Amino acid sequence: MTTRWLTPDEQRAWRAYVAATHLLEDAIDRQLQQDAGMPHLYYSILANLSEQPEHRLRMTDLAERTKITRSRLTYAVTRLEKDGLVRREDCRWDKRSSIAALTEEGMAVLERTAPGHVETVRASLFDHLSEEQVGQLEEICTGIARALQEDGERPTPDDVPWRRRSSPPPCS
Amino acid sequence: MTTRWLTPDEQRAWRAYVAATHLLEDAIDRQLQQDAGMPHLYYSILANLSEQPEHRLRMTDLAERTKITRSRLTYAVTRLEKDGLVRREDCRWDKRSSIAALTEEGMAVLERTAPGHVETVRASLFDHLSEEQVGQLEEICTGIARALQEDGERPTPDDVPWRRRSSPPPCS
C-alpha cells in the first residue's frame, strides 16, 4: 500500500498539535502537582466522581469517562484510595464490577484545588482563543474523539482504552 | 481573587479536548509500541534527529524541540542508546552540553516505522478533519504553544519544560 504521507499543511498542523498538547499537559500537571500533589489524570478521576449522583461510579464507567485503560485506572484509584480520597466498594447490581466513591476528604481536596486548576486551564488555553476558536476546538476534538470511539458498524471498537486491560508504557 | 470559572462553551471544548488528546495519544502510542517497541516520545526524538544536518542535535536543543524536561529527555535517550538507536557524543563547541546522534540502526528503525505511524496519524486525525479544520487546528495550537513559551517581556520563561530538570511524575 502506498503511504499517504502528510501534506505540508497537515505536517505543520501536526507539529503544532504535538507541541501545544505537550506544553499544555506540562503546565496543568505542574499546577496540580504543586497545589494537590497529583497529576491531571487523578484530578480528573475525582472531578468525574464529584459530578455523579452520590459521588459514585462503576470502575468500568469511570475508565470510559476518563478514556484510559482498566489497568491504568486501577493503579490510579489504588493510589487515591491510599491517600483517603477515594473508596472502593462492591457493586450491588453487577458482581463482576466494583465502584469508586469519592470520600469527603476527596471532595474537600477537589474543592480546594479547583479554582487554581481552572485558572491554569484558562491562562494556558482559553485566554488565547477567540470565541470562534473555542467552537472550532470543540468541533475538531468532538469529531476526533467520536471517530476513535466508533468503528463503522460496531459502535464501540474493542480496542478503545477502557476495554483493554493494559496500556502502552507511561510516557516517560 | 474571584475564580474565572469556565463558561458552558469552554467546558464543552475542554472536555472534548481532554477526551480527544487521550484517545489520540493512546492510538499513536499503541501503533508505535506494536511496530517499533517504543512510545510516541521516543519516535519523536528519532524523527527530530533525522531532520538535522548530520543527524545530530545538542541535548538542550532536542529537549526544546520535543517540549520535554531535561531529565525526561536524558531518561529517554539513555534507553534509546541501550537499544543502539542513538549515540551520545561530547559537544565540541559547548563543553557543558552533549550531543545526541542518530545511529544507522536508528535511521533504519525510523524508516521502517514511519509509514505505519503516518497512516495512524492520518486515520486517527486528518481523515476526520476538513481542509479548513486543518488550518484552524494549526492556528489554535500555534497560538497555545506560543503563549506557553513566551511570557510578556521575557521571550522564554524559565519554567518551560526544557529549562527545568524535573517533570511532574509520568502520567500513569
Write the residue in B10, B76, B142 that is nearest to A126 by C-beta: B10
User: Mean per-residue pLDDT for A16-24?
Assistant: 96
Write the residue in A13, A128, A172 that is nearest to B144 by C-beta: A128
Write the residue in A67, A118, A125 that is nearest to B5 by C-beta: A118
Q: What is the pLDDT of residue B171?
A: 44
Interface membership of B53 toward A (CB under 8 Å): no
Interface membership of B121 toward A (CB under 8 Å): yes
> pLDDT of A156-168, one tens digit each?
666 778 777 665 5
| pLDDT > 70 fraction of chain A, expressed in percent and rounded | 90
| Average pLDDT over chain A, rounded to an integer | 90
Rounded Cα distance, B159 and B148, in Å: 9
> pLDDT of B132-145, one tens digit each?
999 999 999 999 99
Q: What is the pLDDT of residue A91?
A: 77
Closest-approach residue (CA) in chain A for B129: A140
Interface membership of A48 toward B (CB under 8 Å): no
What are the start-end ranges of the H helices in chain A?
A: 8-36, 40-50, 59-66, 70-82, 104-124, 131-149
How would residue A172 be classed by pLDDT, with cut points 50, 70 and 90? very low
- The x, y and z cell numbers of residue A125, run together, are 488555553
Closest-approach residue (CA) in chain B for A15: B138
Say which amino acid occupies A22. Answer: H
- The x, y and z cell numbers of residue B35, run together, are 511496530
End-to-end alpha carbon distance in chain A: 33
The nearest CA of chain A is from the CA of B106 a distance in Å of: 19
Residues of B in contact with A140 (CB under 8 A): 20, 129, 133, 136-137
Q: What is the pLDDT of residue B131?
A: 97
User: Mean per-residue pLDDT for A34-41?
Assistant: 95
Assess contact for A69 and A76: CB atoms under 8 A. Answer: no
> pLDDT of B22-44, one tens digit each?
999 999 999 999 999 999 999 99
Interface membership of A161 toward B (CB under 8 Å): yes
CB contact under 8 A, B14 and A147: no
pLDDT above 50: residue B57: yes
When scoring A132, A138, A151 by the number of chain B Cβ atoms within 10 A, the one with the most, hence best to mutate, is A138
How would residue A83 be classed by pLDDT, with cut points 50, 70 and 90? very high
The nearest CA of chain A is from the CA of B116 a distance in Å of: 8
Interface membership of B2 toward A (CB under 8 Å): no
Closest-approach residue (CA) in chain B for A2: B115
Assess contact for B161 and B62: CB atoms under 8 A. Answer: no
Lowest mean pLDDT among A55-64, A129-138, B51-60, B159-168: B159-168
Q: What is the pLDDT of residue B95?
A: 75
> pLDDT of A105-150, one tens digit each?
999 999 999 999 999 999 999 999 999 999 999 999 999 999 998 7
> pLDDT of B76-92, one tens digit each?
999 999 999 999 998 77
When scoring B34, B72, B125 by the number of chain A Cβ atoms within 10 A, the one with the most, hence best to mutate, is B125
Q: What is the pLDDT of residue B132?
A: 98
Query: pTM of the full predicted structure?
Result: 0.88
